[in-house]
Amino acid sequence: MVQFMFIRFVSGVIDEDSHVSAGLFTAAFDLMNEPALTDEDYYALRGLIDWFNVHLKGPVRYRLKAPWRKPRAICWFKPPAHEHLSRAWAMAAILEWNDVFVRTIKTQRPGYVLYEDDAQIFAHPSPISDRLFREVTNNGRQK
């Protein structure tokens, strides 16, 4: 595999399954359930999510060779996925506009890759990536 600097958008909430900061889509779905969200922002998020539903495969739909790793596995964007990243940044902007903490993290060592396509990887955190997440969580968690 080519050594990329993989990119992940995270929120200040810890995901129950992965035990790391929840990702962009979890934060977007949570925000969409907030009654205070404007219709404009709701439909903007809905449009972005609809685009991702068409243009980004859901790796959790695939049977994994190592199912014991599946609950902790997380997705990372690949840098060449320009259109996906552009829309992810748009989603992050809407979240931040609505006071949802969003941070990007980058790593060359995302963990044990379980799935890969042109836009993303799905990886189980390794001890090295776990350390990265602990640093992000301890330094950037919303209180």
Q: What is the pLDDT of residues 31-86, one digit of tens each?
A: 999 999 999 999 999 999 999 999 998 765 554 455 554 567 789 999 999 999 99
User: Which is more confident, 99 or 139?
Assistant: 99
Residue 73 lies in a domain: yes
Residue 1 lies in a domain: no
- Domain assignment of residue 65, given as a range: 6-140
Residue 127 lies in a domain: yes
Three-class DSSP category at 108:
coil
Residue 82 lies in a domain: yes
Look at the chain and report how many structural domains it folds into. 1
pTM of the model: 0.81
pLDDT digits (tens, 9 = 90+) for 12-34: 887 776 677 888 999 999 999 99
Q: Residue 58's pLDDT is what?
A: 74
Q: Residue 71's pLDDT is what?
A: 62
Residue 125 CA: distances (Å) to CA of 35, 50, 54, 99, 100: 34, 28, 27, 28, 24
| Tokens (6 digits) for 45 | 């998020």
Distance CA 23, CA 7 (A): 11
Q: What integer is the mean pLDDT of 111-123?
A: 90
Q: Residue 77's pLDDT is what?
A: 96
| Tokens (6 digits) for 102 | 């969003």
- Rounded to 5°, angle at Cα 106 from 83 and 48: 30
Instruction: Give every CB contact of residue 133 below 8 A, 6+ residues apart in sequence.
Output: 20, 21, 105, 125
* CA torsion through residues 46, 77, 110, 57, sign: positive
